[in-house]
Amino acid sequence: MSEAALYLLDTNIASVLIRGGHPYLEQRMLTLPAGSWCISAITRSELRFGVELLKPEATRLERIVDAFLQAAPVAPWERAAADTHARLRARLQKAGTPIGVFDEMIAAHALTLNAVLVTDNERHFRRVEGLAVENWIRG
């Protein structure tokens, strides 16, 4: 994929970055030009939800997630993404191949942004026609 591409990090990739200990992924992120990656507002919500579920014991995790979210550019969820999501969700449901509402929202967001979705959940996201998918965990 061209270095001029926009990369949208899926929640599972963001979680791996937050946990640390994956040198290839961390190095790949360091080589990206400024402005070439972001997370969806949906991923931000999923990360915050995970912390909320673990409260009050999650103070250390909350600090780490907060630090990541301070550094991560967040693509806002807008009208075009909502409309794309509605069409995508209906198409997948009619085909009997849904991937879950949040994954459908993230896929729709990537499609709307014309972004490459970086995920470790290729099995789900490869069902989405026209979605560019890369896995920076398994190569």
pLDDT tens digits, 38-59: 999 999 999 999 999 998 888 8
Mean pLDDT computed over 112-120: 98
pLDDT tens digits, 58-91: 889 999 999 999 999 999 999 999 999 999 999 9
Cis peptide before 98 (omega within 30 of 0): no
CB-based contacts of 44, cutoff 8 Å, min separation 6: 69, 72, 74
Tokens 């989405």 belong to 128
Q: What is the β-pairing status of strands 133-134 and 116-118?
A: parallel
Q: What is the pTM for the complete model shown?
A: 0.93
Q: Which of 73, 127, 83 is nearest to 109 (CA)?
A: 83
Give CA–CA dist 108/20, Å, rounded: 27
Which domains, ranges and CATH numbers included, belong to the chain?
Answer: 7-134 (3.40.50.1010)
